[in-house]
């Protein structure tokens, strides 16, 4: 065991021990089955990768578990072949590492990762700590799903495929149109997984989605403990068979789940931030299933589906069997120039007036906050109760609620409301659709706000623009194609 001694804290370690930073690999002592391990520690560490600072146990106790093979240490920062990498977030960008004089190892230049520092400092001398002893005992509930709803034909087909993927530990993309009811499609698969003692995680880039899904899944699986994880949530140390988390929170997990479901896989920041994709991969067990959900897969994924390189299932129609509203394009000239003269393009004013006169609620999307504020000041002359929201707006939630309660006739918004929100009956317009911020998927999502409820399945979606873009054309094409597919499959009646 002498060679296996690690220098965790200089003061406590014997002189012959090695500091972690200078070791090629950290040893994995054989598992001592008779060692009376601490169940609380097992509970806390199973499926996780934490730092010593995260563990409310004496270092000595942790070290004894390590020496008896119950705990795994992995180097937090690896420097193989002179290439630096963070094992927690996958960061390999040398500019995102820094060094500091470390009190723990005594090095003047102890390297650490800046990329994931908000989850606690991963440095060269501290390991990521995981459990490698016995699995915790799981109480298995035979048929935990309590849900009496009925799936549409399209949903049922997707639900069967999800269940199959979960059983066979496969990867599957569920491509479901906005408003298809994709959460319900997961229920059977999750039920099957839980009933066989599997651990399931639903991850999404967006905190609002976590907050919305939490109560819904708790209701559907009342006998199951559900951990709801986001920045600042209290369930952090809860060991639950079903976890709902932001993709960010998965940075603390390591080989934890038998089934990982990523909802809104194309949403910001997941697509832009490789460390989140890395975190999702790290959270899966070696043998596990992976389900992706989205209404708007990116171009690459769409092509992979078409070329048979990606397993997928579509739900091309909404639950209420009406087609998706198709956007119309309206050229409105140089609207920014008009705004400078305190004017809105006539076509836009006309579109808005018509809605106000008919008391039909509407959303107007704009590419920039300053333009939005300007438009707001002009529109307030038409109706004093018109409001505007953007990402940093402290009143964002209350304004959205006011819109739901029909207290305001119209809401101006940036792309922040492009997904996730449902108003039962709205018309939607985009002003400045030519802006780069309106990608194909953003535009499909925006159009997807219209006609969601069975009571009001129709509505108008208009893209006002100063020059048609490829994104607009492709978004429209995608919607038409999906409607055509739904018609062919007999999923649309109207």
Residues in the site for Zn ion, rule: CB under 5 A? 86, 88-89, 91, 113, 115-116
Nearest-approach distance from CB 86 to Zn ion, in angstroms: 3
CB of 77 to Zn ion, least distance (A): 8
Closer CB to Zn ion, residue 99 or residue 328?
A: 99
User: How far is the C-alpha of 169 from the C-alpha of 284, rounded, in Å?
Assistant: 11
Nearer to Zn ion, 84 or 240 (CB): 84
d(CA 431, CA 435): 9
The CA-based dihedral angle spanning residues 63, 68, 72, 74, taken in that order and rounded to the nearest 10 degrees: 60
- Measured CA distances, 98 to 112, 251, 469 (Å): 6, 20, 43
Q: Residue 94 or 328: which CB sits closer to Zn ion?
A: 94
Q: Which residues contact 106 (CB under 8 A, 6 or more apart)?
A: 10
Tokens of 392: 């940093």
Minimum distance from CB of 478 to Zn ion (Å)?
Answer: 36
Least distance between Zn ion and beta carbon 115 (Å)? 4
Nearest-approach distance from CB 239 to Zn ion, in angstroms = 24
Residue 118 burial (C-beta neighbours within 10 Å; 0-12, 13-18, 19+):
exposed
What's the CA gap between 225 and 241, in Å, rounded?
6
Least Cβ distance, residue 347 to Zn ion (angstroms): 50
ω into 269 cis (within 30 of 0): yes
389 - beta bridge partners?
Answer: 413
Which string of DSSP letters, residue by residue, matches 34-55?
TS---HHHHHHHTTB-B-GGG-
Q: Which is nearer to Zn ion, 252 or 476 (CB)?
A: 252
Nearest to residue 270, comparing CAs of 113, 106, 419? 419
Nearest-approach distance from CB 75 to Zn ion, in angstroms: 12
Smallest gap from Cβ 113 to Zn ion, in A, equals 3
Are the C-beta atoms of residues 283 and 256 closer than 8 Å to each other? yes
**CB-nearer residue toward Zn ion: 118 or 326:** 118
Nearer to Zn ion, 91 or 433 (CB): 91
Phi then psi for residue 472, to 5 deg, are -65, -45
Strands 85-86 and 77-78: antiparallel
Backbone angles phi, psi at 74, to 5 degrees: -125, 145
What six digits make up the tokens of 6?
A: 């690690």
Nearer to Zn ion (CB atom), residue 86 or residue 228 = 86
Nearer CB in complex with Zn ion: 89/125: 89
């Amino acid at each position: 065991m002498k060679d296996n001694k690690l220098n965790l804290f200089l003061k406590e370690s014997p002189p012959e021990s090695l500091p972690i930073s200078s070791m090629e690999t950290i040893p994995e002592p054989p598992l001592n089955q008779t060692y009376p391990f601490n169940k609380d520690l097992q509970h806390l560490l199973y499926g996780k990768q934490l730092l010593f600072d995260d563990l409310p146990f004496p270092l000595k106790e942790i070290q004894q578990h390590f020496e008896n093979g119950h705990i795994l240490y992995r180097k937090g920062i690896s420097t193989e072949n002179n290439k630096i990498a963070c094992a927690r977030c996958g960061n390999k960008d040398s500019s995102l590492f820094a060094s500091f004089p470390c009190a723990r190892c005594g090095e003047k230049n102890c390297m650490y990762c800046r990329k994931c520092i908000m989850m606690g400092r991963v440095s060269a001398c501290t390991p990521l700590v995981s459990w490698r002893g016995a699995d915790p005992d799981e109480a298995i509930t035979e048929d935990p799903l309590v849900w009496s709803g009925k799936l549409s034909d399209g949903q049922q087909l997707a639900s069967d495929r999800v269940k199959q993927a979960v059983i066979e530990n496969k990867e599957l993309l569920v491509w479901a149109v906005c408003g298809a009811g994709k959460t319900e499609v997961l229920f059977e698969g999750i039920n099957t997984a839980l009933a066989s003692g599997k651990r399931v995680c639903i991850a999404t880039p967006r905190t609002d989605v976590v907050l919305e899904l939490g109560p819904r899944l708790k209701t559907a699986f009342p006998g199951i403990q559900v951990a709801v994880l986001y920045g600042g949530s209290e369930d952090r140390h809860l060991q639950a068979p079903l976890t709902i988390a932001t993709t960010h929170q998965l940075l603390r997990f390591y080989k934890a789940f038998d089934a990982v479901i990523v909802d809104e896989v194309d949403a910001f920041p997941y697509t832009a931030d490789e460390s989140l994709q890395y975190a999702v991969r790290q959270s899966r067990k070696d043998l596990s299933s992976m389900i992706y959900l989205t209404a708007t897969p990116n171009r690459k994924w769409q092509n992979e589906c078409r070329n048979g390189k990606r397993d997928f299932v579509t739900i091309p129609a909404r639950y209420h069997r009406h087609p998706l509203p198709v956007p119309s394009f309206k050229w409105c000239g140089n609207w920014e120039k008009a705004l400078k003269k305190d004017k809105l393009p006539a076509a836009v004013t006309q579109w808005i007036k018509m809605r106000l006169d008919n008391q039909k609620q509407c959303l107007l999307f704009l590419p920039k906050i300053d333009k939005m504020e300007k438009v707001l000041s002009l529109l307030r002359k038409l109706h004093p109760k018109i409001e505007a929201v953007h990402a940093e707006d402290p009143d964002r939630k209350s304004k959205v609620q006011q819109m739901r309660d029909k207290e305001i006739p119209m809401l101006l918004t940036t792309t922040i409301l492009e997904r996730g929100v449902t108003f039962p009956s709205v018309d939607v317009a985009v002003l400045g659709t030519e802006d780069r911020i309106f990608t194909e998927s953003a535009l499909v999502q925006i159009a997807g706000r219209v006609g969601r409820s069975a009571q009001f399945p129709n509505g108008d979606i208009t893209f006002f623009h100063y020059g048609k873009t490829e994104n607009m054309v492709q978004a429209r094409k995608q919607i038409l194609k999906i409607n055509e597919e739904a018609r062919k499959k007999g999923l649309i009646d109207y």
